[in-house]
Structure 1
């Protein structure tokens, strides 16, 4: 897959989200939803998830939640921007963000949910990650550790 192809990657049979507003609308309609940056559902079904630092095979797919926690008092789009930006570094020519649901089977080494029984729900266009990064830079203080 070429670099440009990753940005254009889609998950067959599911909608392609092209804005944070579309992601937000989906999150308000379907719960729970998660995002994963990978080569897609078919590749994940064949390979699963592995903790790259330890080499351990994980008992589910490593994901990031799209629904905000109860304490979140800002707009949903801000939560989504932060969640997408936390893992945007995982986008490569062979990995793209996609939305899925499933059952939490445990937690990974970064305390992220590990899903089993997954169902693809949507793919996320590169333009959404770009919008998320712009929103994150505008609305947050990246790197501020409170000191």
Structure 2
């Protein structure tokens, strides 16, 4: 699978394609081994798709930079390797939303893996978020 090496590369992908999601997991080779599905961590119920985070920019974002949007979306869940499993990594995918999970996250089917998101991109995203002025943060992700 390809490697997305910079926040600018990711931003370029978001500018040209809709229906993109980021998933934090052990990767598509594990997630797509059989019918793609996630499990509710509380009940163990199998969900009708992979839980993932949408990367499509929302209208309310207005004219703010797409790069900052991308950074914010990655930053939201960058704590998962610390709290779930150190092997968890983000990867970008294209898919179709098939419902919502118990935390209101999209559940995605018809998954097309597009690339691993390099750790360097997460570092760039963290730096982009830190540079924002005004009413930003803090989000406690420790």
| Normalised TM-score (structure 1) | 0.82
- SS of the residue corresponding to residue 121 of structure 1 reads strand
Number of residue-to-residue matches in the alignment: 131
Q: CA RMSD in A?
A: 1.6
Could you say which residue in structure 2 is the equivalent of 1:118?
111
Q: 1:54: how far off?
A: 2.6
2: CA distance, partners of 1:55 / 1:33: 26
Residue 53 of structure 1 and its aligned partner are, at CA, apart by 2.2
Q: Could you tell me which residue of structure 1 aligns to residue 44 of structure 2? A: 55
Further displaced range: 88-97 or 20-29: 88-97
**Partner Cα separation in structure 1 for residue 10 and residue 72 of structure 2:** 13
How far the C-alpha of 1:16 sits from its partner, in A, is 1.0
Mapped to 2, the partners of 1:134 and 1:57 lie a distance apart of: 36
User: In the TM superposition, what is the alpha-carbon distance from 1:27 to its structure 2 partner?
Assistant: 1.1
1:41 matched to which residue of 2?
28
**Partners of 2:19 and 2:96 within 8 A in 1:** no
Per the TM alignment, residue 102 of structure 1 is displaced from its structure 2 partner at its CA by 1.1
Q: Confirm whether residue 86 of structure 1 aligns to residue 79 of structure 2.
A: no
- Runs of at least 5 residues in structure 1 that lack an aligned partner in the other structure: 1-11
| TM-score, normalization by structure 2 | 0.85
- How many angstroms does 1:143 deviate by? 3.2
Q: Which is worse superposed, 17-26 or 50-59?
A: 50-59
Q: Matches of 2:32 and 2:115 in 1, distance apart?
A: 16
Greater percentage in helix: 1
Q: Which residue, 128, 137, 141 being the options, matches 1:142? A: 137
* In 1, Cα distance between equivalents of 2:126 and 2:100: 26
Q: Distance in 2 between matches of 1:38 and 1:94?
A: 8
How far is the alpha carbon of 1:57 from its aligned partner? 1.4
